[in-house]
Amino acid sequence: MLADELRAFREFKKKYCFTLKELKDVNGVLYCDNLPLKDEQDNRIEETDIWVDCAYIFKNSLSKVLSNLFPYRFMFRGEELNSIECFFQGIKFKDKDIQKLVFEYSGKDAYHLKATSDYDWRKTGFLYWQGKPINRFSADYENIVDELYVSAAQNPFYRQALIKTNKYILHSIGGANPNETVLTRFEFEKEINTLSAFLKSL
């Protein structure tokens, strides 16, 4: 089932017209679709009628459950992962045994484990899956990310979150430089919005 769904998703992704929503700074306040991301008291506006801004640190439930850091458990290439985030932190470790340990952690804990790695992928552009290098800027990397998200969508709660969401999924705090992050705001928003649209089409 996973292989068939992954194949179908990749075909859907080729045809899907994704447009990244622009974030505009107006007098020090970020706007998306002419709606501010913060109110007059400087509190975050995490959901509107048009978009939901996702991050695990936000209070809004939908924002949390759409985040990579939410503790969804799922199988990926024979490994049990405890969040999508633990994959992205695990691939920063060359040693496959240590990587396997990272996979036991969910969201925020996995995120902070990066501080313990003795390898800086940003200097080489290579990440590691089970001891084998993957070029961060390659088609192989994009393929493994596709497989990761489709695998995560086998978790019924994550799947339902993506299907029930009828708004653009925004990640305003995401980084923009692919040399500094393993998943940019553009890459994340394209992947998750496309996957949401794909699952609704089934």
Would you give per-residue pLDDT tens digits along the chain (202 residues)?
899 999 999 999 999 999 999 999 999 999 999 999 999 899 999 999 999 999 999 999 999 999 999 999 999 999 999 999 999 999 999 999 999 999 999 888 999 999 999 999 999 999 999 999 999 999 999 999 999 999 999 999 999 999 999 999 999 999 999 999 999 999 999 999 999 999 999 9
What residue ranges define each of the domains in the chain, with the CATH number in brackets?
A: 2-201 (1.10.357)
Closest-CA residue to 191 (of 83, 84, 57, 113)? 84
- Residues, the chain, total? 202
Tens-digit pLDDT profile for residues 10-38: 999 999 999 999 999 999 999 999 999 99
Half-sphere exposure of 18 (CA within 13 A, CB side): 22
The answer to whether the beta carbons of residues 79 and 55 sit under 8 Å apart is no
